């Protein structure tokens, strides 16, 4: 059985930033982590470039929890494997926000 490394929120954000840069090398992403009572999250922002669905596909691997609004229940995910390493993510949620420039519109 492989070892699982537990990451902090900041370490999770750093790993996410590196993966976004690898997948979308020409896009500049803002990746900011937040800690608060009861958990933590990462906000990912970018202008133009890939669609929110494309970025969400990458970001979902870095979420440590899911939320079920019907039951008002947060459930924790198990470890994720990235580049052959197993990680327990430090951030509960990752939120993606895309801005569109006037030129792009």
| pLDDT tens for each residue of 20-41 | 999 999 999 999 999 998 889 9
What whole-number distance in Å separates Cα of residue 48 and Cα of residue 71?
35
pTM (whole model) above 0.85: yes
Confidence at 82, pLDDT banded by 50, 70, 90: confident
How far is residue 98 from each of residues 45, 55, 61, 83, 84, measured CA to CA in Å?
6, 9, 19, 27, 30
Residue 97 and residue 43 in contact, taking contact as beta carbons nearer than 8 Å: yes
CA-wise closest residue to 8 among 32, 40, 37, 52? 40
What whole-number distance in Å separates Cα of residue 27 and Cα of residue 23?
9
């Amino acid at each position: 059985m492989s070892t699982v490394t537990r990451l902090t929120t900041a370490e999770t954000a750093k790993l996410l930033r590196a993966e976004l840069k690898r997948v979308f090398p020409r896009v500049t992403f803002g990746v900011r982590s937040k800690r608060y009572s009861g958990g933590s999250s990462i906000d990912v922002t970018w202008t133009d470039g890939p669609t929110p669905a494309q970025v969400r596909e990458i970001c979902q691997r870095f979420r440590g929890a899911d939320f079920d609004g019907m039951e008002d229940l947060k459930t924790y995910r198990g470890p994720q494997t990235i580049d052959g390493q197993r990680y327990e993510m430090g951030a509960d949620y990752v939120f993606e926000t895309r801005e569109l420039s006037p030129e792009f519109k």
